[in-house]
Amino acid sequence: MAVAEQVSSKKNYLTALKEAVFEEMQRNPDMVCIGEDIGFLGGAFGVTEGLKAMYGPERVIDAPISEAAIVGVACGMCLNGKTTLVEMQFIDFISCGFDQIVNMTATYHYRTAGEVNMPMVIRGPAGGYGGGALYHSQMNEAWFANSPGLKIVCPSTPRDAKGLLKSALRDPNPVMVYEMKELYRQNKIAEEVPEGDAALVPIGQASIRREGDDVTLVTYGNNVYHCLAAADNLAEEGFSAEVLDIRTLVPLDEATIIESLKKTNRLVVVNEAPRTCGFAGEVLARMSEEAFEYLDAPPARVTRLDTPVPWVKPLELYVLPSVEKITDAALRVCKF
């Protein structure tokens, strides 16, 4: 099978995603994959490599460059009893299919008073730090968090990548999976990944990546690793930081964040999206409503500047969250 081509039993993020796709295609004969170059090529990053040979062109569709039709066709298939996995070649291109996602698919269950389910997963490579420039670096999850009816997950580890994608493919609702393409082939985060149902990771549950007592760094995706590095820096300064990976944005596991704040009483939220109306702002808003009494200092956000993501390294790092920016923000909150 095209999936397991690794030397050790540890698997990287990309392989974990592939396993999720192959296992769910095998498990569910009503599942259909559609996207640009996912068949003959096996996807721009190879997530669906070998899938067309194994399951045939009817269930693995090489679509024309038509994001609106790709999502809309998947929507029609869901209406007629199928489960669909849509690949956006880059999550940046999703704007071309925006209407079909937010107006057709996301509202289907609502406007039919529950008659119709949309078991659709839209997955795609997302995020910056790779020099991908304006149209291969985006984190546009807030557009969809602001469109009721869509679940949104953003895994940061191979286990979560496989487990959340598998759970998404069994969910009766449309789920967006923001994959961190900079983590796809990082060997240092490779890990043992379970098979079959044991691999499932429930949607809507946050995960504590590092325990701490003085400040909670709430984040997801690429920034989990920046926060872990910042926590090392903070330890040197004498502060113990808890790193909380929310993993699922919608629905948000508020309880786990609140529990952490009861202990640390300080909050910093980090994400790659622009500052204005980014998801970090939503976390801050909710915690100011739900956990104000536990906070001993004004919370802080570390986000991208309100700019596009520029190309060359110094420009890109200037606008995106960094270990230094997170460390500085957390120190300010800790020393308040």
Partner 1 sequence: MATTEADQRKKKSDAFQYGTYSAKLTADDHKEMLLQLYLARYFDVRLIKEKKRGRLTGTLYSSHNQEAVLVGSLYGLKPKDWISPIHRDMPAFFMKDIKAGWRNLDRMGMSVQQVCAQVWGRVDSPGRARDNWSHIGSRSKHIIHSTSMLAGTIPAAAGVAYADRLSGGDAVVLTYNGEGSTAQGVFHEAINFAAVHSLPVVTVIENNQWAYGTPTYLEYSQEDFARRADGYGIPGLVADGQNVLDVYDKVLEAVDYARSGKGPSIVECKTFRAYGHGDHDDDRAARYRPKEEVEAGRARDPIAVMKRIMVERGLMTQKEAATYAAEGKSASEVSNEDFPPDVVAYLSEGIEFAINSPLPPAEEGGMWVFREEN
Residue 122 in contact with residue 90, Cβ under 8 Å? Answer: no
Burial class (CB in 10 A: 0-12, 13-18, 19+), 186: middle
Peptide bond between residue 251 and the one before it cis (omega within 30 degrees of 0): yes
Residue 283 CB, shortest distance to partner 1, in Å, is 20
User: Is 109 a known active-site residue?
Assistant: no
| Residue 302 CB neighbour total at 10 angstroms | 26
Given the residues 52, 59, 123, 136, select the one marked as catalytic.
136
Find the part of the chain contacting partner 1 (CB under 8 A) among 147-155, 183-191, 266-274, 283-291: 147-155
Stretch 76-115 residues interacting with partner 1 (CB under 8 A): 76-82, 99-100, 103-104, 107-115
Which listed residue (3, 21, 32, 234) binds partner 1 by CB under 8 A?
32
Rounded to an integer, what distance in angstroms lies between the CA atom of residue 68 and that of residue 91?
13
Residue 38 CB, shortest distance to partner 1, in Å, is 15
By CB under 8 A, tell whether 73 contacts partner 1. yes
**What one-character-per-residue DSSP string does 102-143 give?**
IIIITTHHHHTTTS----EEEEEEE-SSSS--TTSS---HHH
Stretch 40-59 residues interacting with partner 1 (CB under 8 A): 58-59
By CB under 8 A, tell whether 38 contacts partner 1. no
User: How many Å is the Cα radius of gyration of the chain?
Assistant: 20
User: In sequence order, which residues have a C-beta less than 8 Å from that of residue 123 and are 6 or more positions away?
Assistant: 17, 47, 85, 86, 87, 88, 165, 168, 176, 177, 179
Find the part of the chain contacting partner 1 (CB under 8 A) among 19-27, 61-69, 132-140, 262-270: 61-69
By CB under 8 A, tell whether 146 contacts partner 1. no
Residue 328 CB, shortest distance to partner 1, in Å, is 39
Q: What do you get for the CA distance between the two ends of the chain, in Å?
A: 55
Count residues contacting partner 1 (CB under 8 A)?
A: 42
Find the part of the chain contacting partner 1 (CB under 8 A) among 36-44, 73-81, 262-270, 295-303: 73-81
Helix, strand, or coil (residue 25): helix
Which listed residue (41, 54, 116, 229) binds partner 1 by CB under 8 A?
116
- Comparing CB distances to partner 1, the nearer of 30 and 237 is 30
- Comparing CB distances to partner 1, the nearer of 109 and 325 is 109
Residue 78 in contact with residue 84, Cβ under 8 Å? Answer: yes
Helix, strand, or coil (residue 273): strand
Q: Which residues bind partner 1 (CB under 8 A)?
A: 32, 58-59, 63-64, 66, 68-69, 71-82, 99-100, 103-104, 107-117, 148-149, 151, 170-173
Tell me which residues are annotated as active site: 136
